[in-house]
Amino acid sequence: MAAGPRFDRSPQSPGGGVRRLGFLTAPCGARSGGRGRVLRRQGQTSLVTTPGKSIMKADIVINGATLVTDSAMVQASIAIKDGAILAIGSADAMPPAAEVVDATGKYILPGAIDAHVHFRDPGYTHKETWETGTASAAMGGVTTVFEMPNTNPPTGTVAALNLKLKSAEQAYVDFGIYGLLGEENLTELEALIEGGVAGFKCFMGNTFGNLPSPPTGAILEGFEIVAKHGYRIALHAENASIMARRSKKLREAGRCDPLAHLDARPPVVATEAVARAAILAEWTGARIHILHVSSGDELRPLREAKARGVDITAETCPHYLLLDERAYTEKKSLIRVNPPVREKTHQDQLWTAVRDGTIDMIATDHAPHSHEEKHKDDIWTTDCGFTGVQTQMPLMLTQVSAGRLSLTDYVRMTSLAPAKAFGLYPRKGALLPGSDADLVVIDMERETQVDSARLKSKGSSTPFQGTATKGAPLHTLVRGRFVMRDGALVTEAKGHGRNVRRIQQMPTPTPRNVHTTTAAILKKRG
């Protein structure tokens, strides 16, 4: 990659020293395919534009903010044209614009990319829809989401995918759709790729939707098929057999209290599944993503796999970083989620893994249910999961304000890492000329609290109800269009969202042991 920007340092702000724009030589985005043009005018500071773009009238110029990337904080203005970032530089060097936005004292981040949401549509629209789920995302500073296949019907066939794509026409933000990888639809995987999925999801452990967990042989065969196409496979990594036996024995013993859910899913269920998935990925060359890492024990097989060169990424979620075993007493059945919220000793290890890069990204596992489905006396009949896509940013910015995480690391984990993992960088996850103008303007001084009444999700029950926050999104733009402005949803932007598969560019596939795949053996012996 080309040399990064050079800046002069100025006073400290969240996440490190803010720099004032001097001479910027950052590479531009995918649309231009090269370095940005550095333009100079007499008496003005230089700026960067997309090569081949002359100084033209911009659609929007945002002045006065501090731009934040994964590696720098820059006091600069940003110009937007035709849905893309046109130029970055000092205010006096900006092109004229149809609209000028004053963001003095605020911060501009690349929009968050949430690699893990459940919008329940089609099939469970009393819990959520594409309209309400993406509205919640827009309000939370999330500009791209990856939606899970455990809907009804599950996204395991092209017909089911097309049904979901029709529902997604209501989206406020951009999206990718995971296809299901299960034992019963292995013959559908290549058709799903052709149909437009952005990756696959394999449920190694049971969760909402009662999708059967495929046996290891089917997982291996699925990895073999997907590996040659290069798409990433997301894994709900829990051992179904251990959980089924534990749950059965606990229920037979009369346990139905909230802590029974934690007892049924000890850390070994996830640790074993992560290790097994990593071995299969190493053998086949498949790219995998470990969803919702909840325990410190999972970090060992994760670190070992990365050290062996396995193409493996991992996420954790705010509830694993911010809640612990006390939640089972305080929140009761509302806290039920798969995997479970664990003891504080695990939480401390997760924070270390967030800081050292073992965990690549922060996602939400946004999984809404109705109030009645989340508040029951019997934990076994309580639906698993809760809303999260609107609350992630204020919750995590609060941790930035508290000094537990830098703002640059927050950008790395919520924008850059998912964009790279899913083949969207540098169109998304970046503040570069030519990149999509997916931006969130945040106010790091805004103090409020989580209030379910203000959430756009249909299933607004949240274990963070009443939690005080400091730092919040003020404006959200998706490809240069406001979808949230001054803290209010822009309802006219419904339907603006687009399938990111149209721009997705995964690296060249690197399948391994291709002579031993099921297909190869059948062909050779046939």
Residue 208 — very low, low, confident or very high, per pLDDT cuts 50/70/90?
confident
Q: Compare 231 and 55 and report the one with higher pLDDT.
A: 231
Burial-class residue 125 by CB neighbours within 10 Å (0-12, 13-18, 19+). Answer: middle
Interval 434-451: pLDDT, tens: 999 999 999 999 999 999
What lies within 8 Å, CB to CB, of 420 at 6+ separation is: 429
Q: 123: alpha, beta or left, given left = phi > 0 and alpha = psi -120 to 50?
A: left
Helical spans, DSSP H, in 196-343: 216-227, 240-252, 258-264, 267-284, 299-307, 318-322, 327-330
Find, among 482, 440, 491, the residue nearest to 103 by Cα: 440
Collapsing DSSP to helix, strand or coil, 10 comes out as: strand
> pLDDT at residue 1 above 60?
no
Please check whether residue 213 is in contact with residue 203, taking contact to mean a CB–CB distance below 8 angstroms: yes
Whether residue 51 has pLDDT greater than 80: no
Domains of the chain: 6-105 (no CATH), 111-434+445-453+498-502 (3.20.20.140)
Among 396, 393, 391, 364, residue whose Cα is nearest residue 455: 391
Instruction: Summarize the confidence of residues 126-139 as an average pLDDT.
Output: 99
The fraction of the chain above a pLDDT of 70, given in percent, is 89
Question: Token pair for residue 379?
Answer: 């934990």
DSSP state of 443: E
How many residues are listed for the chain in this entry?
A: 526
**211-267 tens-digit pLDDT:** 899 999 999 999 999 999 999 999 999 999 999 999 999 999 999 999 999 999 999
CA 244 to chain centre: 29
The DSSP-derived string for 174-218 is EEEEEEE--GGGGGGHHHHHHHT-SEEEEESS--TT-PPPPPHHH
3 state DSSP class of 126: coil
Upstream peptide bond of 426 is cis (omega within 30 degrees of 0): yes
Q: Are 184 and 218 in contact (CB under 8 A)?
A: no
Residues 118-146, mean pLDDT to the nearest whole number: 99
